[in-house]
Structure 1
C-alpha cells in the first residue's frame, strides 16, 4: 500500500491539492532576478510530440552530452537523466566525464555553478535549461552581506578564530569567500565531519591568540537549520551557544557579548521546502499511522528533527527505503517529487508524506520538459544556450573550499 500526504486533521491520507508553482513561461521572465530569455520558440507543454522530440534530440547529441538530474526534479525530466543524485554527487559526476562536450544540469543555479567549477576542461560547457531555476536558500546569503558580517567579526577581533563552513547549497561567490578565509564546503551527509574539522582549526587559532581553550567559532552559511542540527545533535554544542546572524539588522542583530560567547554563528537562511514541516506534522502522522517511522532531512527545523526517528540526506533517505522491511510504514519530510518517486518505486511499503499540502521545490520545477527539449535541440543545431560560467577568481577559491571538503575523512 502506498499513500502520500496526511490531512491536517490526521484523519486520513490522500494526494494533496496542488498549489501554484512559479510560472514556466516563454520569453523574458520579469519576476526573475536573472532575467531568463529563451532564444527561439520554447516548445509548448501540450505538444504531443514533446517526448519524441526529447528522445530524438538526446539521441542526436549522443556522447557529446551528459544529462544530470537532481532527485527533486520532475519525473518527465528524470527519465532523460544519465545520472541522478544530490547536488554534490552530480557535480562530481560531471567532473568525471571530461569527454562530454555538454553537461546539461537539470537542477538549480548553484548546482550548475559547482559543476562548472569542478569541470577543469574549459571546452566542457555546463548548460542550465532554465536560468530562473535558482535556490531561495542560496540567494539568502549575498556576498556583500557576508563580507559585511566578516568585517563585523574582524572589528571585534573574532575573525582570526572563526572558520567559515558553507553548505553545498550556496552560490559560487559564497564558496569562494569560504575558500579565501580557510574554510570548507559541506554537504548534508558530511556536515558533522566538516564542523569537527572547522572547530579543530578555529580552536587552534583561538589558543594561538591566547583566547583559551574552546574559543574558536564557526560561521555556518547559509542554512541555519542544518548548522544548528549538526552542531547540537551531533557535536553536542549547547543550543544557546548557537546564535543567528540576521544580515538585515545592524551587526546581525547580535551584541558584542553574544558574538563573543557564541560557538556557532548561523546565517539567517533556510530551505523554503523543508522549513514548512512542523512538529505538529510529526504528531499528526504518529496519531494516524501505527508504528510509523518518521524520517526527515536535516534542513528541517530543530524541533522537527528532534521529533523524528531518523534524519539524513536525500541519499540517506533513498537508501533507508531501499533497505526497509516490506509492509513497514514511513513518513518522509523532504521534497514531494522525491517522495512520490520513492513511493512508486516501493509499492511494498506504506510511504506517507509528512505535510498535508504540496511541498514542491518551485524553482526545481522550473526545469520542465519543454525547457530541456529546447536546450537539447539548440545544442543539436550548434547553438549553446544558458551556459553557466563562474568568474575565474571565484572559481579558483571556490575550488579551494571544495577540495578541502574532498580532503575530509570519510567522503
Structure 2
C-alpha cells in the first residue's frame, strides 16, 4: 500500500518592509546604542570573498575560538556559529568550553555581558559590533532602578518586595538584583522565578510584592496566566515620571510592580494581526512569545519562549498552518526547516530585531581576522563587583526548581 503524499505548504510570504525600523542593522540610533564605530578596516558587504575569509579565519583559530549565534541572527552569521540558542543557553555553552580562549558572541550587548560573567578570567568575550544593543535592556538603567528602589523604601514596602530581572537586562541590573536577594529569570522559567520570589514574602496569596524588570509584558503575562493574579494586582512603574507615575497608595496595593519596558519586536504584534491571520488562513495555529502584549497573548493558541516555539514547530503535524509572533529571522528559518508546514509571520510587515541584525558577515569577519592577527577587538568586560553580584542572581536562578 502506498503512503499518501502530503501536499507541500505554500512558500513563505515575506512581510513588507517597515520604515520604522533600522532594517538589517543599517543606520544608527545614538540615543540607545552603545557604540557605532568599528576600530579597523571593516570588509565591504559586497566583498565576494567574505564567506571564504570567515572560513579561513575560523580554521586558523581552531579550538581557540568558540562562536555563539542567537536564534534571531541572520543566516549568514548563523552559518558560522558553533552553537545556536537563546541568550542564557549560549552563555552557559560558553562557560562549558573553558579551553576556548575567545568567545565571539553573535547576539547583543547584555548577552555578551552574561557570557563574560559566566566564563573564566582566562576567556575573552568579543561582540563583533558594539552597536548591537537591546532597546529593552536600555529601558532600565541602574540609576533609574536605584531611584525606584528608593521610592519603595520611602513608602515602607522595599522590605517586602523582591526584585526579579529578566535575562534581557544589563549586568548592572542583574547585580542590583543579586545584592537585594532577588533572582534572574528567562521567558521559560519566569513563572517559577515569580513563585519563588512571592514565597519569600508571604506567598502569592499574601501581600508581598515583586519588582519585575525590564519587560512589563512578560511580567504581566506570567502573573495573570501562571499565578492567577488579576490585572488590578499589577501596576506599571514609569522611571521617567516622579514616583514612577504612581501614588504611594497604588504601590502599596500592588502585587506586581512592572517596569515600563518592552521588546521593540514583540511589542509590535497586535490583536488585529491575530484577527487578520485567522481570517486569511482558516485553522491556523497562532503561536506567540510571552514578550507580546497581554491582549495578543490572550488571543493566541500557544504561548512560549523561543525554544518552546522551535519545539512546537518540530512536533507539529505535516500540513498544519502556523502564524508565529516572534523575530522574523527565526520565523524564516523555521519556515525553511519545515517545508511540510504552512508557516506564516504574524505581522504583515517586517519586524527584525534591528540591533541584533547589526552583526553581519563583515563584522564577524573583521572580529575573527583581528583575533587571527593577535588583536582582541570589542572585548566585553563586566566590572568585577557587578560580575560577582550578577553571578549571585544567576546562580539563584539556577537553583530554582526545574534547573
1:386 to 359, 362, 378: 378
Match of 1:128 in 2: 127
Match of 2:359 in 1: 367
Q: Could you tell me how far 1:290 is from its partner in structure 2?
A: 1.1
Relative to 1, partners in 2 of residues 1:272 and 1:18: Cα closer, same or farther, differing over 3 Å?
A: closer
1:238 to 230, 242, 257: 230
Match of 2:174 in 1: 175
Q: Is the 8 A contact 2:32 2:133 kept in 1?
A: no
Match of 1:74 in 2: 74
2:251 to 251, 259, 262: 259
Match of 2:164 in 1: 165
Alpha-carbon distance in structure 2 between the residues aligned to 1:62 and 1:351: 37
Q: Is the 8 A contact 1:43 1:371 kept in 2?
A: yes
1:313 to 293, 305, 311: 305
Relative to 1, partners in 2 of residues 1:129 and 1:2: Cα closer, same or farther, differing over 3 Å?
A: farther
Relative to 1, partners in 2 of residues 1:354 and 1:4: Cα closer, same or farther, differing over 3 Å?
A: farther
- Secondary structure of the structure 2 residue equivalent to 1:203: coil
1:410 and 2:402 aligned: yes
Q: Could you tell me how far 1:238 is from its partner in structure 2?
A: 1.0
Alpha-carbon distance in structure 2 between the residues aligned to 1:25 and 1:46: 15
CA deviations 1:339-394 (Å, max 9, x no partner) are 00000000000000000100000000000000000000000000000000000000
Alpha-carbon distance in structure 2 between the residues aligned to 1:25 and 1:347: 30
Relative to 1, partners in 2 of residues 1:292 and 1:253: Cα closer, same or farther, differing over 3 Å?
A: same
Q: Is the 8 A contact 2:328 2:351 kept in 1?
A: yes
- Secondary structure of the structure 1 residue equivalent to 2:163: strand
Alpha-carbon distance in structure 2 between the residues aligned to 1:338 and 1:248: 33
Q: Is the 8 A contact 1:3 1:352 kept in 2?
A: no
Relative to 1, partners in 2 of residues 1:59 and 1:399: Cα closer, same or farther, differing over 3 Å?
A: same
- Pairing of 1:393-404 with structure 2 (within 5 A): 393-404=385-396
Match of 2:50 in 1: 50
Q: Is the 8 A contact 1:142 1:174 kept in 2?
A: yes
Match of 1:186 in 2: 185
- Pairing of 1:215-226 with structure 2 (within 5 A): 215-226=207-218
Q: Could you tell me how far 1:40 is from its partner in structure 2?
A: 2.2
Q: Could you tell me how far 1:25 is from its partner in structure 2?
A: 7.2
Alpha-carbon distance in structure 1 between the residues aligned to 2:320 and 2:372: 47
Relative to 1, partners in 2 of residues 1:40 and 1:29: Cα closer, same or farther, differing over 3 Å?
A: farther
Match of 1:345 in 2: 337
Match of 2:22 in 1: 21
5+ residue gaps, structure 2: 1-8
Instruction: Give the length in aligned residue pairs.
Output: 394
Match of 1:10 in 2: none
Match of 2:104 in 1: 104
1:141 and 2:156 aligned: no
Alpha-carbon distance in structure 2 between the residues aligned to 1:247 and 1:40: 38
Q: Calculate the TM-score normalised by the size of structure 2.
A: 0.95
- Secondary structure of the structure 2 residue equivalent to 1:166: strand
Relative to 1, partners in 2 of residues 1:199 and 1:66: Cα closer, same or farther, differing over 3 Å?
A: same
Alpha-carbon distance in structure 1 between the residues aligned to 2:270 and 2:55: 41
Q: Could you tell me how far 1:37 is from its partner in structure 2?
A: 2.9
CA deviations 1:18-39 (Å, max 9, x no partner) are 645268579x996665233323
Alpha-carbon distance in structure 1 between the residues aligned to 2:262 and 2:246: 19
Alpha-carbon distance in structure 1 between the residues aligned to 2:80 and 2:165: 31
Q: Calculate the TM-score normalised by the size of structure 1.
A: 0.93
CA deviations 1:212-264 (Å, max 9, x no partner) are x7110000000000000000111001111100000011100101110000000
Alpha-carbon distance in structure 2 between the residues aligned to 1:327 and 1:170: 39
Alpha-carbon distance in structure 2 between the residues aligned to 1:33 and 1:21: 12
